[in-house]
Structure 1
Amino acid sequence: MVKFNHFNFNILDLDKSLDFYDKALGLKPVREHNAADGSFKLVYLGDGFSDFTLELTWLKDRTEPYNLGECEFHLAFHTDDYEAIHKKHQEMGCICFENPAMGIYFISDPDGYWIEIVPEKK
């Protein structure tokens, strides 16, 4: 049997990213790993409901933004309160694309990664 474990985003500012993911999606650190030499840190964020985690990788010496190409990849979350979270994301100014015909939208994190927000199926 094979199950999903985690997905990784490389980030430039760990504190900024942790704050964003907490405020925007309620994700909290569930574990972390620090390199013995301090060169990198991995922080795994969880939603408190599933075992799936988002791994944030911070490299101490990295100063250049990551090249995300055309951003043709994304992470997706579904929500049981689409209207409320949409309003929250509007207030945060992090919505980067909306597709009302499909009933979805995307937010962008501090490093430019796109995250899809999907209403929970009823």
Structure 2
Amino acid sequence: MKFAHTCYRVLDLDRSLDFYTNKIGLEYTRKAPIGNDATNAFLSVPGDDEPRLELTLNHDRDEPYPLGEGYSHIALLVEDLDATAQRLQEAGGVDFESEPHAMGNSSTRIFFVRDPDGYRIEFIERG
């Protein structure tokens, strides 16, 4: 078994693509229409041949999707957590949910941001 991808449903595909490519640093792979009802856009982590994030725009949707009460998110490993946070702050338009911090007594450090639709993204630096 191999993990394929995660799908998020978005309201503004161009805004989400800008966020994930120009701020987060993922690479745009391709778009694929789903009939006349929806469009999928696929993004990959630099250096990975497989798209790992699918953004789906349902053409008839104009209300935000309920995100639920769970703590669902995607997580990205980074080598330098502070540099990543600084780059995102300098990019502007990134909603920080938390600042870089250690996980208890561990050498692992994390922080969270939210995308334009409110989905959480965790950045992890392992010590």
Paired position in structure 2 for 1:62:
61
Paired position in structure 2 for 1:96:
97
Moved over 3 A (4+): none
The CA distance in 2 between the partners of 1:36 and 1:111, in whole Å, is 24
What does 1:1-40 correspond to in 2, within 5 Å?
2-37=1-36, 39-40=37-38
Aligned residues: CA RMSD: 1.6
Of 111, 118, 122, the match for 2:117: 111
Of 43, 46, 51, the match for 2:44: 46
Paired position in structure 2 for 1:87:
86
User: Aligned in 2, Cα 1:44/1:68: closer, same or farther, shift over 3 Å?
Assistant: same
Instruction: Judge conservation of contact 1:4–1:52 (CA < 8 Å) in 2.
Output: no
**Structure 1 length as normaliser, TM-score?**
0.88
Residue type matched to 2:31 in 1? E
Unaligned stretches of 5+ residues in structure 1 = none
Aligned length: 119
Greater CA drift, 6-15 or 64-73: 64-73
- The C-alpha deviation readout for 1:27-77, integer Å capped at 9, x for no partner, is 12212211332x200011011222351000001110010100124111000
Shift of 1:90: 2.6
Instruction: Judge conservation of contact 1:89–1:95 (CA < 8 Å) in 2.
Output: no
